[in-house]
């Protein structure tokens, strides 16, 4: 399995990274997980975006889905043959939210965007996506949000999406090869409950689940600290841990 970090900024783009988007490639299949603000630009450095096979949106916060709008324009109007609608998974109401964000009522084409996206709603449990086995569970965030586990040929990736501490994360990340965990907050502050993890909490989950590797993401730089987040995680987890950056590739 190959994981390419497309964007990893929390909440809004940073000068050096778009918001959340991760390209997962395995068995010839190309899955994009989240499609946050600015990520369609970085994605083009790594892949012709027309070649994506499916998209999973973990929740309907703008930093995880807004570039589905630009991508709709790209798929609809690029020269060449019209592609079939691409499967796009998301929480209940995903189609309405993307259509509202796109706001294309005045367009000549289908305002429902169903010529571009084959919308499918997520429900807790497992399903097959090409050669990948996907498991999603609701995590602790103010809107319906799914953490994920992606498996292929004995390799596994767990992704927290945005979440506070929750049991679902333990199930999803059990003995995974890579735990891609958000670490938006720092310890010692009055962090709201059920929104995000601290670096320490991400490290604790990596230890508790026996994850082989921990990747930290979704830092909100002006309010946090890369070095402090990394130090918190390292104190809680003795395995390999690092902060991700756009363009970084991990194969496992
Ligand atoms: Zn977010
Ligand atoms: Zn969020």
Per-residue pLDDT of the chain (252 residues; tens, 9 = 90+): 999 999 999 999 999 999 999 999 999 999 999 999 999 999 999 999 999 999 999 999 999 999 999 999 999 999 988 899 999 999 999 999 999 999 866 666 678 899 999 999 999 999 999 999 999 999 999 999 999 999 999 999 999 999 999 999 999 999 999 999 999 999 999 999 999 999 999 999 999 999 999 999 999 977 889 999 999 999 999 999 999 999 999 999
CA of 64 to the centre of ligand 2 (A): 7
CA of 91 to the centre of ligand 1 (A): 15
Q: Which ligand is nearest to the CA of 220?
A: 1
Q: What is the pLDDT of residue 80?
A: 87
Q: What is the pLDDT of residue 223?
A: 83
Q: What is the pLDDT of residue 147?
A: 98
CA of 80 to the centre of ligand 1 (A): 34
Distance separating alpha carbons of residues 244 and 169, to the nearest angstrom: 19
CA of 198 to the centre of ligand 2 (A): 14
Q: Which ligand is nearest to the CA of 164?
A: 2
CA of 132 to the centre of ligand 1 (A): 24
pTM exceeds cut of 0.75: yes
Q: What is the pLDDT of residue 11?
A: 95
CA of 141 to the centre of ligand 2 (A): 7
Q: List the domain range (segments joined by +) for residue 92.
A: 2-251
CA of 225 to the centre of ligand 1 (A): 17
Q: Which ligand is nearest to the CA of 13?
A: 1
Distance separating alpha carbons of residues 156 and 182, to the nearest angstrom: 17
Q: What is the pLDDT of residue 252?
A: 98
CA of 142 to the centre of ligand 2 (A): 8
Tell the residue number behind the tokens 């003795």, with chain if given: 238
The first and second tokens of residue 141, run together, are 């965030």
Q: Which ligand is nearest to the CA of 10?
A: 1
Q: What is the pLDDT of residue 81?
A: 86
CATH of the domain at 232: 3.60.15.10
Q: What is the pLDDT of residue 106?
A: 66
Which residue, among 55, 25, 27, has the nearest Cα to 40 in the 3D structure? Answer: 55
CA of 56 to the centre of ligand 2 (A): 14
**Three-state secondary structure string covering the chain:** CEEEEEECECCCCECCECECEEEEEECCEEEEECCCCCHHHHHCCCCCHHHCCEEECCCCCHHHHCHHHHHHHHHHHCCCCCCCCEEEEECCCHHHHHHHHHCCCCCCCCCCCCCCEEEEECCCEEEEECCEEEEEEECECCCCCEEEEEEECCEEEEECCCCECCHHHHHHHCCCCEEEEECCECCCCCCCCCCCCEHHHHHHHHHHHCCCCEEEECECCCCCCHHHHHHHHHHHCCCCEEECCCCCEEEC
Angle 97-129-43 from CA coordinates, rounded to 5°: 60
Quote the number of domains for the chain.
1
83-89-91-93 Cα dihedral, nearest 10 degrees: 20
CA of 60 to the centre of ligand 1 (A): 9
CA of 109 to the centre of ligand 1 (A): 31
């Amino acid at each position: 399995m190959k994981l390419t970090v497309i964007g990893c900024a929390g909440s809004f783009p940073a000068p050096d990274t778009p918001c959340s988007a991760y390209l997962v490639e395995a068995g010839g299949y190309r899955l994009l997980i989240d499609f946050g603000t600015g990520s369609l630009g970085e994605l083009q450095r790594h892949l012709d975006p027309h070649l994506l096979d499916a998209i999973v949106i973990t929740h309907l916060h703008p930093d995880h889905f807004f570039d589905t709008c630009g991508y709709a324009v790209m798929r609809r109007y690029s020269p060449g043959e019209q592609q079939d609608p691409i499967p796009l998974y998301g929480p209940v109401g995903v189609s309405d939210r993307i259509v509202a964000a796109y706001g294309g009522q005045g367009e000549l084409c289908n305002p429902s965007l169903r010529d571009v996206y084959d919308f499918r709603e997520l429900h807790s449990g497992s399903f097959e996506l090409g050669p990948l086995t996907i498991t999603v569970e609701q995590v602790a965030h103010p809107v319906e949000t799914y953490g994920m586990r992606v498996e292929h040929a004995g390799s596994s990736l767990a992704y927290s999406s945005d979440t506070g501490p929750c049991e679902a994360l333990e199930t999803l990340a059990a003995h995974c090869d890579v735990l891609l965990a958000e670490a938006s907050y720092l310890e010692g502050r009055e962090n709201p409950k059920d929104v995000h993890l601290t670096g320490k909490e991400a490290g604790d989950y990596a230890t508790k689940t026996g994850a082989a590797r921990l990747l930290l993401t979704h830092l909100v730089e002006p309010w946090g600290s890369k070095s402090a987040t990394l130090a918190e995680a390292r104190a809680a987890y003795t395995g390999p841990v690092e902060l991700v950056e756009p363009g970084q590739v991990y194969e496992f």
